[in-house]
Amino acid sequence: MLRIKNYMEDVVDHILPDVLKKYPELCNCKQCISDIKALALNNLPPKYVATPMGEVYTKINELSIQFEADAIRAIIDAIDKVNKSPRHS
């Protein structure tokens, strides 16, 4: 039985640190980073793939290239929203 996972989550996980580096003034607490990730994923179409357990991002890298531009846009939108109304206490 293969694991069904949302491949977009891997794409966002992979890209998020690079995008965040461009926003050094941004709060990087767990709440804000998680909100950014969740918001970005909500704005991206899910891409479910069946993968063996433990399959890593780089093994299916060809797939990612076409989604990275969309993911970057979604992350930047999410950063903007979280920056304007952070939920951290």
Residues that bind Zn ion (CB under 5 A): 27, 29, 32, 86, 88
Select 32 or 41, whichever has its Cβ closest to Zn ion.
Answer: 32
Rounded to whole angstroms, the Cα distance separating 14 from 27 reads 19
Query: What number of residues does the chain have?
Result: 89
Select 27 or 49, whichever has its Cβ closest to Zn ion.
Answer: 27
Nearest-approach distance from CB 89 to Zn ion, in angstroms: 9
Nearest-approach distance from CB 27 to Zn ion, in angstroms: 3
Select 34 or 61, whichever has its Cβ closest to Zn ion.
Answer: 34
Nearest-approach distance from CB 26 to Zn ion, in angstroms: 8
Select 58 or 85, whichever has its Cβ closest to Zn ion.
Answer: 85
Please answer whether residues 12 and 71 qualify as being in contact, where contact means their C-beta atoms are separated by less than 8 angstroms. Answer: yes
Rounded to whole angstroms, the Cα distance separating 73 from 43 reads 10
Residue 15 CB neighbours (<10 A): 19
Rounded to whole angstroms, the Cα distance separating 3 from 36 reads 25
Nearest-approach distance from CB 76 to Zn ion, in angstroms: 17
